[in-house]
Structure 1
Amino acid sequence: MATLKYLNGYSPSLQQQVQALIDKNQLGSWLEQRYPPQTQHLIQSDAALYDYTQRLKQQHMRSSDPVSKVFYDTRMHVIDNALGQHQFVSRVQGSKLKRKNEIKVSAILKTLPEPLLRMVVVHELAHLREKEHNKSFYQLCQHMEADYHQLELDLRLFLTLRG
């Protein structure tokens, strides 16, 4: 059985099911059934990603700190164990300390279905309120995206398929 590095935290029975799909060469067709080609998205530019993120933030987190920058990062890779990253940048301007929130999303998400992009953006937006991956963090993610945990698993399956 090959190592399923993106599924390490999941139960052995789930890992066995995924391995069976891989062994039968059916993981790709299973994912294609869940995410037909029409679930691909047109959010290809940094400006479109920023607008998309702002809409999600406005819908679910109006009172949170503003996000000043959102962009696709071509250097961010799955090997670094991250598909999204939030940064809290502080800069001194005159006598004031300016704090800005920035979100980077891996460019690999340009090629994946929109629900998976949404899951990563929701995850990074949740960090505006909750810095740690704790219970409240995941509750907030589920509030913004009801299928958050399933989408996270599906994203890991896409990554497993890509190798």
Structure 2
Amino acid sequence: MSRTKKVDYLAGYAAELQQQADTLIESGKLPDYLRKRYSGHHSVTSSKALYHYTLELKSSYLRQSAPLSKVEYDDKIDVIQNALGLHTHISRVQGNKLKAKKEIRIASLFKRTPEPFLRMIVVHELAHIREKQHNRAFYKLCQHMEPDYHQLELDLRLYLTCIDRFGPVF
């Protein structure tokens, strides 16, 4: 079956799983599937609230990691061109000292999603504090912070596909 979406968010998944997704998409049942699994929006809609939300997760799982300088929603993150979130590490010399800043930026799209999707993205970006690459240790850390990480990542990709095909779901 040929895929007609602008971006194939499911490209890395097994053919059988992609076929199941195609069946949901072509039958028009994908929005209903997502609505049954997830409900409404979360209340973390400001960058200040996102900062506190992220620090709460960080203090639960990554206490020994470097502090975060900034966490905010970013309107400039284009889901298709860049990513869903960004993490940056900035080192600057100030006098005799080397100052390191760590920042997390989350696409503004996540202001209007179910909380599990926001949590998955925040967990993903927090995991990059310890593990820079998407390797086995990175995904193990993601699963430690969010046991349903892989299912949430798949459902988020289905959600993005749904937005492309059917418009906003929630």
Normalising to structure 2: TM-score of the pair? 0.92
Structure 2 unmatched runs, 5+: 165-170
Distance 2:4 2:157 in 1: 13
Report which structure shows greater RCO (CA 8 Å, sep ≥6). 2
Distance 2:89 2:4 in 1: 35
Distance 2:61 2:26 in 1: 41
% identity of equivalent residues: 56
Could you say what secondary structure the match of 1:128 adopts? helix
Normalising to structure 1: TM-score of the pair? 0.96
Structure 1 unmatched runs, 5+: none
Partner of residue 91, structure 1:
92
Match for residue 19 of structure 1 among 14, 18, 22: 22
Partner of residue 12, structure 2:
9
* 1:36 CA drift (Å): 2.0
Name the Cα RMSD after superposition: 1.0
Q: Which runs of 4+ in 1 moved over 6 A?
A: none
Partner of residue 142, structure 2:
141
Could you say what secondary structure the match of 2:89 adopts? strand
Partner of residue 116, structure 2:
115
Could you say what secondary structure the match of 2:129 adopts? coil
Distance 2:4 2:121 in 1: 24
* 1:67 CA drift (Å): 0.7
* 1:3 CA drift (Å): 4.3
Could you say what secondary structure the match of 1:133 adopts? coil
| Counterpart amino acid of residue 28 in structure 2 | N
Partner of residue 74, structure 1:
75
